[in-house]
Structure 1
């Protein structure tokens, strides 16, 4: 079961609040999850793909993938990057996705990130990217670990 609050619960807190800043800071995760879910929905429509195809291409466990799309789970940085490969995003779009999950964007001066930038902008699959990371002796993009 999700730790996410129902909209009615959050609305009730807002209506009964004496200090807006406190309510907003105590519920920051609610706002962030909603922002990510909205962005993922936008990407599905824009890229004309299904959740199932993105989750499959990202090599994520099916349940975990759907939990990300519903806002129940926040992906790790690697899993957010895996989603980017699942969506076939470029590096700039991936940086926006990473910002939504509050992780640092891809950094060209980091060898592993540089390889991923190269791969994203050339349309590599996740598997092709992991093969390249392996060849360059860098950590693979982890997708399936609980």
Structure 2
């Protein structure tokens, strides 16, 4: 079964008169992974220890363990820190933000543009925070 784009799903939703039919037909395409599951899948693709990830994300190993186990939900900024620490792509980060019900990074926002640029260029968290501070924007931690 071929993956449907968000645009295709929206078009089907707009043209479908019965929500039940839409839900049944598109069940395989609904996002069903939790934030912790998505983070775990991303982490498993990296050759990085949890201790190194905690350092790169500016967080403690205890907090990291709680997030990965699903016992804590990170704030938007903490989730961004984890994405930066993991070396996530902009697309992976946007998916995690969306799954966590947070606003995706928006290029018309100065702060989000700085963060997006850092993600696109593999910039470390401290350097992103320095740029945010230099531009008068709130840092990630």
Q: TM-score, normalised by structure 2?
A: 0.73
Q: Is the 8 A contact 2:76 2:102 kept in 1?
A: yes
State the distance in 1 between where 2:36 and 2:76 align: 16
In structure 1, what is the equivalent of residue 52 of structure 2?
53
Cα deviation 1:35-89 (Å, max 9, x = unaligned): 1222122111212322222121100122111100110000000000000111011
- Aligned pairs for 1:1-146 (under 5 A) are 35-142=34-141
Shift of 1:124: 0.4
Contact preservation (8 Å) 2:50, 2:61: no
1:113 and 1:139 map into 2 onto residues whose CA distance is 10
More displaced stretch, 129-138 vs 52-61 = 52-61
Runs of at least 5 residues in structure 1 that lack an aligned partner in the other structure: 1-31
After superposition, what is the alpha-carbon deviation per residue over 1:20-43, rounded to whole angstroms, capped at 9, x for unaligned? xxxxxxxxxxxx9x6122212211
RMSD: 1.8
Moved more, 88-97 or 127-136: 88-97
Which sections of structure 2, spanning at least 5 residues, go unmatched? 1-30
Answer with 61-70 or 106-115: which moved more: 61-70
Secondary structure (helix, strand or coil) at the match of 2:45 reads helix
C-alpha separation in 2, matches of 1:37 and 1:102: 13
